[in-house]
């Protein structure tokens, strides 16, 4: 995965969370970002975004469409995109739904830079669906 050749989408209705995640990702060499503040914007970026969205962090609980719904669309429209589901709740049902949906990872908020690094390492090694 060439970090400089792909765009990272961060979809979260909490602006502070979007900014924090972008800061952590920049520390890991990612440079190009697009942002969605709700599920509808995320769907539009997946469907029509001209940018090469190759990595997406999707909040599970957003207005419009949930992160799981956006994940399903991403699997159809951008099958090479690694999607990470982010949630404030670590309920087993959420984790299992993300895995069944083809998520590359699941991160519980509030997340640490170390946890994001672990998920990125897994994705960069290619060990995700």
Q: What percent of the chain has pLDDT above 90?
A: 71
Find the helix packing angle between 67-77 and 92-100, rounded to 10°. 10
Mean pLDDT (the chain, rounded) = 90
Q: What is the pLDDT of residue 129?
A: 52
pLDDT tens sequence across 21-30: 999 999 999 9
Which carries the bigger pLDDT value, residue 52 or residue 46?
46
**Quick one: tokens of 21?**
């995640």
Alpha carbon separation from 109 to 17, 123, 126 (Å, rounded)? 9, 19, 24
Q: Which distant-in-sequence residues (6+ apart) come within 8 Å of 23 by Cβ?
A: none
Domains of the chain: 7-124 (3.40.50.2300)
pLDDT per residue over 69-109, tens digit each?
Answer: 999 999 998 888 999 999 988 788 888 999 999 999 999 98
pTM above 0.75, yes or no: yes
Per-residue pLDDT tens over the stretch 105-116: 999 988 889 999
The 10 Å CB-count burial string (b at 16+, else e) for 75-104 is beebeebbbbbbbeeeeeebbebbeebbbb
């Amino acid at each position: 995965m060439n970090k400089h050749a792909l765009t990272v989408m961060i979809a979260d209705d909490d602006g502070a969370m979007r900014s924090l995640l972008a800061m952590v990702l920049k520390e890991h060499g990612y440079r190009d970002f697009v942002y969605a503040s709700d599920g509808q914007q995320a769907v539009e970026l997946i469907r029509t975004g001209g940018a090469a969205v190759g990595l997406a962090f999707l909040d599970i609980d957003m207005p419009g469409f949930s992160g799981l719904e956006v994940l399903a669309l991403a699997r159809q429209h951008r099958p090479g995109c690694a999607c990470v589901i982010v949630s404030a709740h670590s309920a087993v049902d959420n984790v299992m739904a993300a895995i069944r949906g083809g998520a590359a990872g699941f991160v519980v908020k509030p997340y640490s830079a170390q946890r994001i690094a672990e998920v990125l390492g897994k994705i960069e090694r290619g060990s995700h669906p």
